[in-house]
A and B are shown apart, each in its own frame.
Chain A
Amino acid sequence: MAAAARLKVRNHPWITQRTGGWSAPSFIARCAFFVLGVVACGLTAAVFEILSRGTALLAAGVTLLAAAEWLILRKRLFHAGVEEALWTGGLLLLAAHFVSSSGDRGMSVAVALVLAVAAMRLLNPFLLTLAFAAASVAIELAVGHRFWGAHDVSMAAGVFCYGAGASALLLARFQFLRPSHDHMLSWLMIIMPLCGFLWLATQLAPAIRVGTGLASGIFALVALIAGIRRRSHAPLLACMASLGCVAYQLRDLTALPLKLKLIVWGSAALLAALGLDRYLRTARRGITSHPVGEGTAALDLVQWFGAGALSPRAAPQADAPFKGGGGGFSGGGADGRY
């Protein structure tokens, strides 16, 4: 199914005959089904809240889990979005029913476990990444503030996130039976270092700023080497995300105002990307900047709407009298006022 999806032949009769009745929609449809599933979870919980106040969460959780399992086992849905939302929502409601009285720490541990179980059952990388993020919250609530004396430093949570990202990067070199396991590691290696950085980015202490900058820089370098050697996209994306973190920590390197920093750093990134594009127009050791194979419709859509989002925003609708020096214009990132 993974090969058929990658080659866009998942609806070929030969494939349909051999998938044993299992079906998986495209990424865009999966997202839509997931949103509809999340809405259905919320509405089911609200219905049971009215019908049976005392056991609403338990009843709603069991109902949603039963519905999700029915969709998986009987209707043979795999990565369809809706069963993922129902399964996760149902288990979260059950967890909320049983551990609601155990405080923030107990709840965050329960949420992390629930998301991890759901991720394993559904082979969903997004849920596993959320589970690790929830686990970092649990660690932060448990021990985070004790590591750095009197300062409010989320060191343990940050180290956990960086460690999870590094472990994923290391483990991804092994061969796994399922493509889903690869995707799980890919998500972890991209998102977890970012989470680790976010836990520590608010700290202004020089040691922490240097430490996070160095950690992100080293991770970016290792990920870049791994990405090139393994010919894998996820480490390269992880490298780019970590380079963003390094750039953020280097924000005070010059005394330039924010606008000029954005222009200078943006221009540097643009020139680097253009240089790489030019260099790789001729394939170097098989690496090329040309698109190979068919592109994905979802990324094209994101690109178009992204380009639209950078454009000027709305002009005021009312026929308000003109104000000297005023206006509604803004470029990307500005707030729309002069």
Chain B
Amino acid sequence: MHSLELECRELEKAGVIAAPDAAQAAALERGTIFSVFEELRFALYAAVAAITAGIGLLVKDNFDRIGPITLIAVLALASAACYAAALRTEWQRKERTIGGDYVLLLGALIVSADLGYAESQFHWLGTEWRWYLLILAAFHGVTAYGLRSRLVLCTSIAALAAWFGIEGRAATLFNVGGSAPTLGTHAIACAGTLLVWRAANRRLGGLDSFESVFENFAANIGFWGALALCLTPGARLLGLVLLAALAAASIFKALRGGEEIFAVYGTAYVALTLCCLEAQVIKYGLAVLLLELATVVAGALLLWSLRRQAAARA
């Protein structure tokens, strides 16, 4: 096994890192400190995914032997137990561990399953049943703020995106005659809503740690929306304008805040979208291939330059 302990000491001597950081890094290299945080995170995610999948299948099969009321009540009790654990930690003014975070996420996902199942059984919202997704987004949003959970915020954003009709399947983007135009405008609207939410979070003294969640979701959903519009014959110009605006905003953010990921969004999405667009618009084989190649090379060069500048700012 390779150890970087000597290099850590050298960095400390050169004044590149502070003595406590060097001591911690050396301890990690020696193995006197060893964190299994990431392994736990992986195991917890896999466990929550398995339980959620099982509950998804359970409500899908309707489970006639149990009956809807019992099933809804059991799911509500299970989610209440998960929320109770998080509330207990909150009242004790303790910091929630990674395990507590995932139990809370499980509670939120069970609520989602329960509410969806209840709506499908009792039709409280009638033909406007899709509004339950917005109710769900609001509920998860409130609990995310109340319990300061970024994972629950992610479920809230996902429910909001679902309410906007964003399916998260790449195939729908290339379904030009079908849902791609609607998907594009809905995705842009969703990204805009997330940016407004982020602005409100900042203005009203919300949590700083939520900002990066809003920004990453908004950037990805927005770029997918612009890509969908660019691939729709009647909406290409609008798509290109939005793509340029999103790219400019991402690159500006990358350069100002030193966040490399936004330089990646601002160049890679644009290069790949332009390649798809060029393939659609230009019919002559060699010309389109050369143009696409030039686009990809330009994208890579721009990303190289931007990531250097962003890294220098970080």
Residue A281 at the chain B interface, CB threshold 8 Å: yes
Whether A32 pairs with B303 at a CB distance below 8 angstroms is yes
Please state if B307 and A314 are interface contacts (CB–CB under 8 Å).
no
CA separation between A32 and B163, bound complex, in Å?
Answer: 30
In Å, the complex CA distance between A303 and B46 comes to: 11
| Chain A residues, CB < 8 A from B213 | 304
Q: Is the CB of B37 within 8 A of A290?
A: yes
Bound Cα distance from A29 to B8, whole angstroms = 24
Interface contact A32-B16, CB-CB below 8 Å: no
Q: How far is the CA of A259 from the CA of B54 in the complex (A)?
A: 4
The answer to whether A334 has its CB under 8 Å from any CB of chain B is: yes
- Asked whether A322 lies within 8 Å of B28 as measured between CB atoms, the reply is no
- Interface: B297 (CB within 8 A): yes
B15 CB to nearest A CB, Å? 8
Count: A-B pairs, CB below 8 Å? 343
State which of B51, B59, B296 has its C-beta within 8 Å of the C-beta of A36.
B296
Which residues of chain A come closer than 8 Å to B44, judged between CB atoms? 270, 273-274, 277
Instruction: State whether the Cβ of A282 lies closer than 8 Å to any Cβ in chain B.
Output: no
Give which listed residue, A182, A261, A311, contacts B162 with CB less than 8 A.
Answer: A311
Specify which chain A residues have a CB less than 8 angstroms from the CB of B103 in the assembled complex: 270, 274
Contact between chains at A273 and B116 (CB < 8 Å): no
CB–CB B53/A4 < 8 A: no
Are B36's CB and A289's CB within 8 A? yes
Q: A29-B260, A310-B52, A312-B133 are in contact. Are A277 and B300 (CB under 8 A)?
A: no
From residue A175, how far is it (CB to closest CB) to chain B in Å? 6
How close is B146's CB to chain A, nearest CB, in angstroms? Answer: 17
Pair A46/B289 contact, Cβ less than 8 Å:
yes
Residues of chain B with a CB closer than 8 A to A291's CB: 35, 37, 98
Q: Is the CB of B293 within 8 A of A40?
A: yes
Q: Once the chains bind, are A326 and B47 in contact (CB under 8 Å)?
A: no
Q: Is the CB of A304 within 8 A of B150?
A: yes
Question: Bound state CA distance, A28 and B219, in angstroms?
Answer: 15
Contact A33 B303 (CB under 8 A): yes
Q: Is B88 part of the contact surface with A, judged by Cβ < 8 Å?
A: no
CA A274 to CA B104, docked complex, whole Å:
12
- Determine if B43 is an interface residue (Cβ-Cβ < 8 Å): yes
Cα A237 to Cα B46 with chains together (Å) = 13
Is the C-beta of B127 less than 8 angstroms from some C-beta in chain A?
Answer: yes
Pick from A177, A278, A280, A295: contact of B36, CB under 8 Å: A280
Let me know if A175 and B3 touch, CB within 8 A.
yes
- B230 contacts the other chain (Cβ, under 8 Å)? no
Interface residues on A, range: 35 or more
Contact B7 A329 (CB under 8 A): no
Contact at A332–B49, with CB atoms within 8 Å?
yes
Find residues 88-107 in chain B having any chain A CB closer than 8 Å to their own CB: 97-99, 102-103, 105-106
Q: Does A317 contact B (CB under 8 A)?
A: yes
Q: Which residues of B contact A7 (CB under 8 A)?
A: 8, 11, 16-17, 21, 25
**Which residue of the partner chain B has the closest CB to A51?**
B286
Q: Is A313 an interface residue (CB 8 A)?
A: yes
Q: Does A20 contact B (CB under 8 A)?
A: no
Given that A304-B150, A327-B119 are contacting pairs, would A290 and B35 also be in contact in the complex, using a CB cutoff of 8 Å?
Answer: yes
Closest Cβ of chain A to B244, distance in Å, is: 19
Pick the interface stretch among B198-206, B235-243, B264-272: B264-272
**B314: chain A residues within 8 A (beta carbon):** 11
B163 & A315 in contact (Cβ 8 Å cutoff)? yes
Find out whether the CB atom of B55 lies under 8 angstroms from the CB atom of A303. Answer: no
B190 CB, min distance to chain A CBs, angstroms = 11
- Interchain CB contact under 8 A, A11 and B311: yes
Residues on B with beta carbons closer than 8 Å to the beta carbon of A147: none
Chain A: which residue is nearest B286 at the CB level? A50
Name A31's closest neighbour in chain B (CB-CB).
B264
- Which residue of A9, A231, A324 is within 8 Å of B31 (Cβ)? A231
B42 to chain A, nearest CB (A): 7
Q: Is B136 a contact of A312 with CB atoms below 8 Å?
A: yes
- The CA of A261 and the CA of B15, in the complex, are separated in Å by 55
With A43-B296, A289-B98 as given contacts, are A333 and B56 in contact (CB-CB < 8 Å)?
yes
Known A2-B7, A12-B16, A274-B99; contact A309-B35, beta-carbon cutoff 8 A: no
A65–B166 Cα distance when bound, in Å, is 41
A170 to B260, CA, bound (A): 37
Interface string of B109-128 (1 = CB under 8 A from A): 10011001101100100110
Q: A269-B50, A270-B51, A337-B60 are in contact. Are A312 and B123 (CB under 8 A)?
A: no
Task: Say yes or no: is B45 at the interface (Cβ < 8 Å to chain A).
Answer: yes
Hey, which chain B residues are within 8 Å of A240, CB to CB?
A: 39, 42-43, 46
The reply to whether B8 and A3 form a contact with Cβ atoms under 8 Å apart is yes
> Is B168 located at the chain interface by the 8 A CB criterion?
yes
Could you say which residues of chain A place their CB within 8 Å of the CB of B43?
240, 269, 272-273
Q: Is the CB of A292 within 8 A of B24?
A: yes
Query: Which 8 pairs from chain A and chain B are nearest by CB?
Result: A333-B53, A331-B56, A262-B54, A266-B50, A231-B31, A334-B56, A329-B116, A311-B158
A–B complex contacts, Cβ < 8 Å, 16 sampled? A3-B4, A7-B25, A9-B16, A29-B260, A47-B289, A175-B1, A240-B39, A263-B54, A269-B46, A273-B43, A277-B40, A293-B35, A306-B45, A315-B130, A329-B117, A334-B53
State the A residues within 8 Å of B (CB): 2-4, 6-7, 9-12, 14-15, 25-26, 28-29, 32-33, 35-37, 39-40, 43-44, 46-47, 50-51, 82, 172-179, 181-182, 230-233, 236-237, 240, 244, 258-267, 269-270, 272-274, 276-278, 280-281, 283, 286-293, 295, 297, 299, 301, 303-317, 319, 321-322, 324-335, 337-338
A11-B314, A29-B263, A338-B120 are known; give 15 further A-B pairs, CB within 8 A: A15-B16, A29-B264, A32-B268, A36-B299, A175-B1, A259-B61, A260-B54, A263-B50, A266-B49, A273-B102, A276-B36, A312-B159, A315-B165, A327-B129, A334-B53
